[in-house]
Structure 1
Amino acid sequence: MVGLTLLIALIVLLILNVPVGIALGVASMFALMVGDTLSLTSIPQALITSCDSFPILAIPLFILAGDLMGAGGVSRRILDVCNVFFGRITGGLAIVTVLVCMFFAAVSGSGPATVAAVGTMVIPTMLKLGYDKSFVLALVACAGSIGVIIPPSIPMVIFGVSTGTSVTSLFMGGFLPGLLIGFSLIGYCYWFAKKHGYTGSKEPFDGKKAWAATWEAKWALINPVIILGGIYAGLFTPTEAAAVAAIYAYVCGAFIYRELPPKKLIKAIGTSCSTTATTMVILGCATAFTKIITIEQIPTMVTQMMMTVSDSPIVILLLINLILLIVGCFMDTTPAILVLAPILLPVATSIGLDPIHFGLIMVTNLAIGFITPPLGINLFVASRISDSPMEVILKGIVAFIIIMLIDLMLITFIPEIVMFLPNLMK
């Protein structure tokens, strides 16, 4: 009865367009009022205890690092370097967009932040060069989703905390899937540009110009090396790496590039605080929600139910992917992980799936949710920064979703894509 009340209340609240974090908290409250397993005080307790965690501290710090990179000129210099080396290729600016998103992903850990930072720079230029608007906006929205797959990744931190999986191992597991998706998008961009006659820059390669752009961006380019190298060398934890990323982004923007005056700094901090506050409310309410479903043994019931459908690992993996894809269309990444990871992880491990592999499957599914309506947060960000109606983006997004789904199947059924680097650490 408690589990049924929890599910019905959550569905009704989401249909009524109640914010996800509030919906999770209110649904938990209704469930506790029906049952007697926990008291109502467990909800405010969850709000406090869920945020009182050292690994969780990485989330606001990575969010801040991404905002400071965009405001301080770090992202623009990365774009300049990529354009110098790849701008002459057919569809060069589209390819550069994907590469910059991949690079930005190695610092920010956020999909929407990647779309906002990169899209603001490349969308006007690509439209001026004659690129189709639907293609441009869909490309930026899709490439931005790489931000949660290439480490560091905020969703991976949340998955690791909620399931007890090593965040460092999850980061290692995200490298090859992120590269797979990035190069898949680059291949499609080249084919699309070839088909529609989008040529690259006609300027011949200039070694001096390339060196000048690289030297100008040297501090931005070594940022991921410092952060990820420090994590894997054991110099600092992922949380400490997030602090290093934020401080480094501030130093670059304020003192090296001098493009982060106090007014822009305050605005960037304000944006980060707003995003962090929303995330923390969701995290706290989802913790109470997860505690209830665990006590009611809902994960065990779901595992048994899926096993009755089929005992084939392939069928179960397809079912898990289908569930996650549907959920990604309607629920943001953070609550989706917090609610579903404890439910689906036992199912995945029962068929021999490594928690790290399952974590990447889950994150990739929810990354696709960034570009699938009705939620599709990356679509809304691209629409807002380009001041274009959603219909324009939806015309071009189908091809990108198909590419992402193909990559998802490869990541799901070829475990080595995820597990190769984590296994080297053992």
Structure 2
Amino acid sequence: MTKAYDYDLFVIGAGSGGVRAARVSAAHGARVAIAEEYRMGGTCVIRGCVPKKLLVYGAHFAEDLQDARRFGWRVKSCRFDWPTLRDNVLAEVERLEGIYTDILDRNEVEIFQQRAVITGPNEITLADGSKLTAATILVATGARPAVPDVPGAEHGVTSNEMFHLDAVPKRAVIAGGGYIANEFAGILHEFACEVTIVNRGDRILRHYDEQIRDRLLQISLTKGINFKFNAPFEKIVKRKDGSLRIHLAGSSPIDADLLLWAVGRSPNTEGLGLEKVGVKLGKNRAILVDDDNQSSVPSIYAIGDVTDRVQLTPVAIREGQAFADTMYGNKPTRVDYTNIPSAVFSHPPIASVGLSEGQARDKLGTYKTYVSDFRPMKNVLAGRNERSLYKLIVDEETEKVVGIHMIGPDAPEILQVAAIAVKAGLTKSQFDETVALHPTMSEELVLMR
């Protein structure tokens, strides 16, 4: 630590990664400040995974109430009220924002609620004109939804605005085939919205195992969600009544009340002064960093989505922790990016860790797959034909389980524990030797032969 600067560490961006880095660095004894121009908590807490998961919970009641009749509950007709769910979700977001502020306050991190720009290797200029200095600057500004350069694109919304809608649209078009597109498709569909997913490519969730994503597509089609593939957008026209006419290449126009852009996310590096001070940017204008999160300027570091390595909140938190422990905790730490579990909170959800079958085919000499395709007990009694699919990928030479892929109720909850087994390098025989917990869906993981 040095008194030559106002702070030992200045963090730009108070999302999950930035807050973790700030509070742990302060706990290690560093003099820390953080600047946030919007709201404390970042994308995940304010306009991302947390409020979206709450909407997913709300959407599930549509099927749960229907299924309840088969379990003996005399459920009268129900009416969904979007403003109630929306306002309760936003209230929870506000509560969490307060918790993030309290965490920083308790660790004596000074908070500046305004935009900060880097004006020198060790200098930050705030929106009010104040200039501050720091021995180290950490950029944790995250990413934002990308909007394509298409005539009329401004008539669409992004995931940021989905939590503030006045009403659930009757007809929605969702552009994209990734996790955000499929999650909001499931949510809106359960709220009685007619949903069409439009993708410029020929598949959804291209980074997931082919069997799993095909099963989601099959189930989504059965539910009534529409898909258009290989259909680039040409233009969007807004009509006098507020509805949209969406023109696609090689396809008939689609009429909708809402267009959601879910075509990827771009690192928030514009206007931060990075290039002026010599920070090198890479593809998609992401900050290039080494294994210790250091940029091309020795005093400037970056973590989280702004580096465009792995755009997941838990990864940003790990990077923030590693940065703080390395810089101020006398505990050099690097993040291990192998076998990171991920989930898609679609209807039903997907969970995955390790190699997909396609990746195993490319990377391993020989491999085995084990599949369990079954109808969950709850679905059987409910009269619901929806089937779950669990899949193990095994390295034939070592017998290690190198990939687990699942689609079905509570798949993400189950996979978190199973991911430990993949991370630990456990073998298929060790799975087989584990006694099944019956009757559960998770027992399928140890019963595949």
Give the TM-score taking structure 2 as reference length. 0.22
Give the TM-score taking structure 1 as reference length. 0.23
Q: Which has the higher contact order (CA 8 A, sep 6+)?
A: 1
Q: Choose between structure 1 and 2: higher strand proportion.
A: 2
Q: Choose between structure 1 and 2: higher helix proportion.
A: 1
